[in-house]
Structure 1
Amino acid sequence: MNTFPALFTEAWKSLRFHARRSILTMLGIAWGIATVVLLLAYGTGFERTVLMALESFGTKVIYVFPGRTSQQTGGEKAGRRIQVQLADMEAIASSVPLVKAVSPQVEANFKVSYGARSQEFKANGVYPVLARIRKMEISEGRWLDEADELEHARVAVLGSEVKHRLFSGRPAVGESIRIGGMSFDVIGVLLKKAQDTDEPDSRQVYIPFSAMGLLHDTRYLSMIAVEAESAGAHAQVVQQIRDRLGERLRFRPSDKRALWVWDVVNTLEEVGIITGSLKVLFAFIGALTLAIGGVGVMNIMLVSVMQRTREIGTQKSLGARRRHILLQFLAEALLITFAGGLMGMAIAYGITAVLGPLPLWSAIYGEEAREGDLVLRIAGSTLAISTTILTFVGLAAGLWPAVRASRLDPVEALRYE
C-alpha cells in the first residue's frame, strides 16, 4: 500500500465490490463535469464568434466619423455640424506619425440594377488601400486598384449578398450593372464574412472614390478609415487625430460628439474582458453543479468508512499507518471523481457533436449571416479548467472521510458491530 498503483488497485477493488453505488455516484459527477465543459465551451464559442465578427472590420483599423459639437469653442455655439473633407484626411496622413494608411469613404444609397432585377443598396466610394486596412478578401475577380482611381473607372466590387440578389447563381464578374442609372462593370465579389451590423459588407457596393464623384457629392466624407502602425499605438493615434482635426475644424479634442472615433483594437480588448468574465461566471456555475456531485461522493465515502470500520481496525492492528488509511480513502474518492469526470467529458463531446452550430448572428441578421452562428468549442483550456475543478472536488469530497478513517482507534474499530 505504499505505492500509488497499489492504492488505486485497492480503490478499484472496493468500487467494484459496491458497483451499483459507485456508478450512481459517478453519474452525479458526470452530470456536473458535463455542465462545466458545456458552459465553458459555450463561452469559448461565443467569444470566438463575437471576436471574429469584430475582426472582420479589420484588426488595426480606426474609423473616424464627423458629428456635432457639444461644447462651445471660439465663440461658436454647441451643436455645430462637423464636416470632414479630403484635405483633413490628408492632414492626418501627413502629420500623425504612427498612421500607416488612410482611406476616405463616401457612402450613399442607390438603386442598383442588372437586367430586370433592381434593388436599393449602399454604394461606397473608397481608395484601393481600404482592402488592406480592412483585410477585405475577394472570392471572385479582383479588388479596386490605383489605375481605377486615377482613371475614374466605372468599375464595382459587389458584396456577396448584392451578387446573390442581382445574379442568383450566375457569374457576376465581367457583367455590367447600373448604379443610380450609370453603368458600371463588375470586377469582383467580396468573400462572405459574418459581421455584427445590419449593414455588412455583403450588402455593399464598392467603387473608386473618383468614380463616386460621378454619382454623388464627394466634398464631405462620410468617414475616414485609418490603419495604425501597430495595435499598441492606437490610443496615441486616436488622441493625435482628435488634436489635429480639432485644430483644423475648430472643436475641442475632448468633445467626443464632435468627432466619433471607433477604435476596433480597443473594442476587441473590451469584448475580451467581457467574454473572459462571462467564462469565469460559467465556470463558477458549473463548479456549483459539480459540487453537488461532490457532496454525493463525500456521503458515499462516509458510509464506506462506517461499513469498513472493522476492516480499518484490522489494517491498523497489522501495522498500517494513518497516512496509509488516509491515502487509501482519498484514492477511492479521486477514482470515483475522475471516472465520473471522464464519463461527463464524453457526454459533453457527444452533445457538441450532435448540436452543431447554434443560431447567433443568423437569428439577428438573417440567413446570410449563418457563418457567424455559435459553434460549441471544447478548447484545451476548457479541459484544463475542468480537470482542475474535478481534482479540487475529488480531494475536498474525500478528505474528511479519509481523515475520519485514519483517526479510528484500532481497538475500538475491531469492536465495532
Structure 2
Amino acid sequence: MLRDIFGQAMEAMRHNGRRTAITIVGMAWGIATVVLLLAYGAGFGRAFETIFAQFGTNMIGVFPGTTSEQAGGAKAGVPIRLKMDDVERIRETVPGVLHTSPVLWKQVPVQNDLHTYTWEVDGVSPEIQDIQKMDLAEGRFLTEADLQQRNHVAVIGSQGSSKLFSGIYPLGQTIRLNGISFEVIGVLKPKMQEGDDNINRITYIPFSTMGDIKDNKYLDGIWFNYRGEPKSVERALRNTLAAAHAFRPTDHNAIWVANIMEQLAQFRIISLGLQVLLLFIGTLTLGIAGIGLMNIMLVSVQQRTREIGVEKALGARKRHILLQFLAEALVITGVGGIAGIALAYGVSKAVGGITFYSAIASNASAADIYLLISPHIVILATAVLVIVGTVSGMIPAIQAANLDPIEALRYE
C-alpha cells in the first residue's frame, strides 16, 4: 500500500516537473541555510575553545592583593603576601589539585653578544609546563634537578629566539639576564599573540635561580591545575588562603583569582546563545520554503479535485487521500533536504576558514571560524526539516482528505 502511495506521489511530481523542481530548490536552500548557520555557530564556539585551550583550561592563578573588608581585629587595606608555604598549603588542602607552581617575574635586560632587549623573565617550577600547556619546538624544559641545583638554564619563547639569534641554532647558546649568564636549553612553540603582547618573549628559569635576579621571599603568583568543579575549587582556595592570612573568604580584593574555566564558561554561554539565535533564523528561512511547499500542494489539491473525487467514489478512504498528498510533500522535502545538505557540505569545503582571531593576533589561524558540519548538526537540521515538511504537507493533505466526493466529481 505504501509503495502504491509513494508511486502516486512520484508520478504527480513528474507530471508537474517544473513546479516540483522549484519547490525542491526552495527546500534545499532552506535546509542548507539551517546547516550552514549551525555550522557557523559551532565554529564560533570552537574558536573560543581553541583560544583558551592553548593556555590550558582547568587551571587557576592566584595573585596577592589588598584586603577591602575588616577581618577580626584587622582593618581593611592590609596587603596579602604569598609565600612558598602557600604553594604547599594549596597542594595539600585544595581538593583536585594536580600540579602547582610558584611564579616570580621581573622585567630585566635580556642580551647576547648581538642584541639587548628588556623582557619579562619568570622564575617557575617544572610543573608550569603541564599547567599552562607549554609545548617545545626544540630542546627540553626545566627539570627538578635544575630547580634543586639552582642551574643557570633558560627556556625562551619563539619570538625571543628569533629576535636574539636571528636563525642561529639557539640551544647551548649563552644569554645574559640582568647581567647573569644562562644557557638556553629549550625553545617554546609560538602561542597566539595579540599586538605587542609578550607571551612569546617570556624567558623561563628555575624558581630557585630566580633568587639571583629578584628576592624570592614573596611570590608574585601561584598557578595550579586541577580536576573538579571550577567554582568549588576556587571556593576551597579562597577558604584556605583566608584562614592562613586572616582575611574574609568573601573579600575578593585580598587575593585575585584567575579562574580560566569560569571565564570559558561565560564565553560558552555566549556561544550557545548565538547558536540558538542562528537556529531560529535558519528555521525562519526554512519556514518560508515550507510556506512555498504548502502553497504548491494547495494548488495541486485544487487541480486534482476531480481525481480525488474519482478515488473516493472507487472506495478510497480519507486516510488514503491524506497519505497520498502527505507522501508527495515528504518526498519533495526529502529530496530537497538531501540536496540542501550536500550543498551545505560543498559550501563549507569551498569557504574553508573565516578570518576571526587571526585578524588581531599572530599564530592564530587555528582559532579562526571553520564551518565544520558535525553529525549532530545534520540530525538537528533534519529534525527541523521533517517538522516543517510535515506541517507544510499536512494542511493541504487534510483539505484533500475532507473533500466531498460528490462535489469533487462536479468540479471543473
Are the counterparts in 1 of residues 83 and 217 from structure 2 also a CA contact under 8 Å? yes
Of 121, 130, 133, which aligns to 1:132?
Answer: 130
What corresponds to 2:65 in structure 1? 67
Between stretches 66-75 and 28-37, larger displacement belongs to: 66-75
Amino acid at match of 1:387: T
Residues in 1 aligned to 2:37 and 2:295: alpha-carbon distance in whole angstroms: 27
Work out the CA distance in 1 between the residues paired with 2:340 and 2:313: 40
SS of the aligned residue for 1:213 comes to helix
Say if 2:105 is the partner of 1:107: yes
Stretch deviating more after TM superposition (265-274 or 28-37)? 265-274
Partner of 2:209, secondary structure, is: helix
Paired residues of 1:123 and 1:207 also in contact (CA < 8 A): yes
1:375 correspondence with 2:370: yes
Deviations 1:33-60 (A, max 9, x none): 1221111111111111211222332243
Name which of structure 1's ranges 276-285 and 290-299 shifts more when overlaid on structure 2.
Answer: 276-285
Cα deviation, 1:13-70, whole Å, max 9, x if unaligned, reads 2222222212222222222212211111111111112112223322432211222222
Q: Which residue of 2 aligns with 1:142?
A: 140
Contact (CA 8 Å) 1:105, 1:209: kept in 2 or not?
yes
Moved more, 268-277 or 295-304: 268-277
Matched, 1:231 2:237: no
Q: Please give the secondary structure, in 1, of the residue aligned with 2:212.
A: coil
Tell me by how many angstroms 1:191 deviates. Answer: 2.9
1:181-192 residue pairs with structure 2 within 5 A?
Answer: 181-192=179-190
- Specify which of 104, 120, 123 is matched with residue 121 of structure 2: 123
Taking structure 1 as reference, are residues 116 and 371 closer, same or farther at Cα in structure 2, changes over 3 Å only?
farther
**CA distance 1:161–1:313, change in 2 (3 Å):** farther
Q: Which residue of 2 aligns with 1:47?
A: 45
Mapped pair 1:305 → 2:307: no
Partners of 1:326 and 1:74 in 2: how far apart?
Answer: 79
Q: What secondary structure, in the 3-state scheme, does the structure 2 residue paired with 1:101 have?
A: strand
- Closer, same or farther: CA 198–295 of 1 in aligned 2, 3 Å: farther
1:391 is matched with 386
Letter of the aligned partner of 1:171 in structure 2? Y
Q: Secondary structure at the match of 1:245?
A: helix
Residue 307 of structure 1 deviates from its aligned partner by: 0.7
Distance in 2 of aligned mates of 1:77 and 1:204: 38
The amino acid of 2:343's aligned partner reads I
Question: Which segments of 5 or more consecutive residues in structure 1 lack a partner in the other structure?
Answer: none
User: Is residue 2:29 matched to residue 1:34?
Assistant: no
The answer to whether the 8 A contact 1:161-1:368 is kept is no
**Paired position in structure 2 for 1:414:** 409
- What is the Cα-based RMSD across aligned positions, in Å? 2.2
Aligned-pair identity in percent equals 46
Give 1:196 shift.
Answer: 8.5
What is the CA deviation profile of residues 342-364 of structure 1, one whole-angstrom value per residue up to 9, with x for unaligned ones?
Answer: 22222221221122212222122
Match of 1:340 among 336, 339, 343: 336
How much does 1:94 deviate? 3.3
Question: Which whole-Å CA distance do the structure 1 matches of 2:179 and 2:121 have between them?
Answer: 13
Give the whole-Å Cα distance in 2 for the aligned partners of 1:336 and 1:200: 58
Contact 2:191 / 2:363 at 8 angstroms: preserved in 1?
no
| Amino acid in structure 2 at the alignment position of 1:239 | R
Contact 2:333 2:385 in 1 (8 A): yes
Q: Shift in Å at residue 339 of structure 1?
A: 1.8
| Conserved 8 A contact 2:156-2:186 | yes
Aligned to 2:215: 217
Query: C-alpha separation between the residues in 2 aligned to 1:342 and 1:364?
Result: 38
Picking from 242, 259, 266, the partner of 2:262 is 266
Deviates more, 1:103-112 or 1:308-317: 103-112
